[in-house]
Amino acid sequence: PEARDWWRDAVFYQVHLRSFADSDGDGIGDLEGLRSRLGYLELLGVDAVWLTPFYRSPMADNGYDVTDPRSVDPVFGDLDAFDAVLADAQETGIRVIVDVVPNHSGDLHPWFGEALAEGRGGAARERYVFRDGRGPDGARPPNDWQGEFGGPAWTRVPDGQWYLHLFSPRQPDLNWDNAEVQADFELTLRFWLDRGVDGVRVGTAHGLAKPAGLPDATDGTDPRFDEDGVHEIHRRIRKVLDGYPRTVAVGEIHVPDGARFARYLRPDELHLGVDSGLIRTEFDADALQAAVDESLATVAEVGAPATWTLGDHDTGRQVSRHGGGDRGRARARAMALVELALPGAVFLYNGEELGLDDVELPTESLTDPRVRLSGGTDRGRDGVRVPIPWEGTDPPFSFSTGETSWLPIPGRWAALTVEAQLEDTASTLSLYRQALELRQSHPAFTGDHVEWFGAPAGCFALRRHSGDEDEDGALICALNTSAAPISLPPGEVLLTSAPMVDGRLPPDAAAWLV
């Protein structure tokens, strides 16, 4: 029989390429740097990597402002370097998916130049969303939409028209009703799939389609996202992927509720949708149990696997979100065991396995457009994008062959380098390695069912099993979010996120048992 689809329970590792490893000394991570460190990802034990955008771009939004989606920006290497990473990764048994950005182009994309040059009413403007403004002389934006990074979602061009950008003004939204936009995106998909990638991450998968007439956002509605028309686009994307066996499309989906989310994962749409439920939930057993149940119920509706994550390049790191310091790290480690115990796919983020925390950066280092567009009230996302500390005692910790890194690495990360953590069996890296190894090889990690059983207040115990009466294969994950140590249920302890104290699981810790 056909083997189970690899992506249904794969552990993906998000390589934030700029921040992973730099081979040429310019302080910016690149493809050759990644290639030289593939052995690390093999040692860690991940199944696949997701590469953040590496296409030609002025980097006004970290490469999500794409000038040419079928190219490699020279700062990251070239197409040969990409092919070499892909070949070596796949040779090692690591699959590769690339980040595609269908909602918008960058402002340096030749299409946008044509749209500006051609003027109002021309076909080049049809590829984007140009409109006349409201009020006398059209001096007010066409509607009241705000951009995700702050400020209006519209910018006026010299001839008086306005163009839509749900993100920064340097990221004009594409018009997905336009045949050329559709055809060009298909070309991009095929370009990377023909090179042999194992799939795509579809950014802003809930964007793309815009409602007819571009109505104002009245109370309680957000017409910018989750338009019904978007599903036809996902069906077209899926048709393309279906021509390439064993590939996967993973959506970044932000919608208000599970029912809306599930629609993106219908059998002819995206394979996976990254679920930010665990990121949004506080460190509390009841709340976490409810979040897990909700996620499982959501995907069960459409027969898709759940897809868990504790963070990405847009969200604060777990260690900091849980208060930082030893306690924050203990909680982050506990959450890793919770996430990796669950059925479904998992997305790990660049450096999460090292227990890295958010870095407070000097203002002059900040590159995120959110900083400027919020008028400085928002410090942006650079603090979660600080490069990996690899080796040695001083920044840049062998991240770069040069002296510096594009964002400064704090000296306090000397204790968190890959080198230091590989040698320490109690390190966060060692915990992740052991967890991934068990998840990969132990039969208890195959069941698709989750049930909960009695646990003291502030704790949960979940049982993952196959649904068969033969219960030998079950895994138990216990989590202690209370202030007191707890006794574990009977069983053989496979792994704990913190040392047991007098035979009991301490607060801020999780354990796996069979």
Minimum Å gap between C-beta 88 and ligand TEU is 26
Question: Helices (H) and strands (E) in the chain — how many of each?
Answer: 14, 16
CB-based contacts of 486: which residues, under 8 Å, 6+ apart? 455, 456, 459, 478, 480, 504, 505
Report d(CA 88, CA 38) in Å as an integer.
Answer: 8
Least distance to ligand TEU, CB of residue 64, Å: 3
Question: Least Å distance between CB 203 and ligand TEU?
Answer: 4
CB atoms within 10 A of CB 355: 23
Instruction: Give the containing element (helix H, strand E) for 96.
Output: strand 95-100
How many CB atoms neighbour CB 504 within 10 A? 13
Report, in Å, the least distance between residue 66 CB and ligand TEU: 9
Stretch that binds ligand TEU, among 61-69, 174-182, 232-240, 453-461 (CB under 6 A): 61-69
By the rule CB under 6 A, 204 interacts with ligand TEU: yes
Exactly one of 54, 167, 192, 512 binds ligand TEU (CB under 6 A); which one? 167
C-alpha–C-alpha distance, residues 72 and 55, integer Å: 4
- Is 61 a binding residue for ligand TEU by CB under 6 A? The answer is yes
- The torsion angle over the Cα atoms of residues 430, 436, 441 and 447, rounded to 10 degrees, is 140
Among 70, 254, 266, 372, binds ligand TEU (CB under 6 A): 254
Return the number of other C-beta atoms located less than 10 Å from residue 216's C-beta.
11
Stretch that binds ligand TEU, among 42-50, 59-67, 340-348, 351-359 (CB under 6 A): 59-67
Least distance from ligand TEU to the Cβ atom of residue 28, Å: 17
Min dist. Cβ of residue 202 to ligand TEU (A): 10
**Piece in contact with ligand TEU (CB under 6 A), picked from 60-68, 115-123, 413-421, 427-435:** 60-68
Cβ 96 vs Cβ 197: under 8 Å: yes
Give least dist CB 312 to ligand TEU, A. 7
Q: Looking at 57-65, 258-266, 298-306, 489-497, which segment touches ligand TEU (CB under 6 A)?
A: 57-65
54 binds ligand TEU (CB under 6 A): no
The conformation of residue 21, written as its DSSP 8-state character, comes to -
Kindly state the number of chain residues that form the binding site for ligand TEU, as judged by CB under 6 A. Answer: 15
Length of the chain: 514
- Give me the least distance between CB of 165 and ligand TEU, in Å please: 10
Question: Using the rule CB under 6 A, is 64 a contact of ligand TEU?
Answer: yes
Of all residues in the shown chain, the one whose CB is closest to ligand TEU is 64
Between 116 and 155, how does the x/- string for binding to ligand TEU read (CB under 6 A)?
Answer: --------------------------------xx------
Question: Does 358 sit near ligand TEU (CB under 6 A)?
Answer: no
Whole-angstrom distance, CA of residue 69 vs CA of residue 454: 52
Rounded CA gap, 210 and 154, in Å?
A: 14
Residue whose CB is less far from ligand TEU, 233 or 510: 233
Q: Which two tokens stand for residue 172?
A: 């004009």
Q: Name the minimum Å distance from CB 176 to ligand TEU.
A: 15
DSSP letter for each residue of 134-146: BSGGG-B-SS-PB
Whether residue 111 contacts residue 69, with contact meaning beta carbons closer than 8 Å, is answered with no
Report if residue 227 touches ligand TEU, rule: CB under 6 A.
no
Quick note: the x/- pattern for ligand TEU over 368-387, rule CB under 6 A, is --x-----------------
* Residue 276 CB, nearest approach to ligand TEU (Å): 9
- CA-to-CA distance for 134 and 114, rounded, in angstroms? 24
Q: Between 254 and 266, name the residue whose CB sits nearer to ligand TEU.
A: 254
d(CA 46, CA 10): 8
Contact (CB, 8 A) for 313 and 349: yes
Q: How far is the CB of 167 from ligand TEU (least distance, A)?
A: 4
Per the CB < 8 A criterion, the answer to whether 185 and 103 are in contact is no
**Restricting to residues 437-456, which ones interact with ligand TEU according to CB under 6 A?**
none
Nearer to ligand TEU, 203 or 395 (CB): 203
Taking a C-beta distance cutoff of 8 angstroms, is the pair 373, 172 a contact? no
β-pairing, 48-51 with 130-131? unpaired
Cβ at position 346, least distance to ligand TEU in Å: 18
- Residue 21 half-sphere exposure toward CB, CA atoms < 13 A: 18
User: Which residue, among 162, 141, 165, has the nearest Cα to 153 in the 3D structure?
Assistant: 165
Structure-block tokens of residue 72: 């490699």
Q: Looking up tokens 């354990």, which residue turns up?
A: 511
Site string for ligand TEU, 298-337 (x = CB under 6 A): ---------------xx-----------------------
203 touches ligand TEU by CB under 6 A = yes
Site membership for ligand TEU, residue 349 (CB under 6 A) = no
Residue numbers at the binding site for ligand TEU (CB under 6 A): 61-62, 64, 101, 148-149, 167, 171, 203-204, 252, 254, 313-314, 370
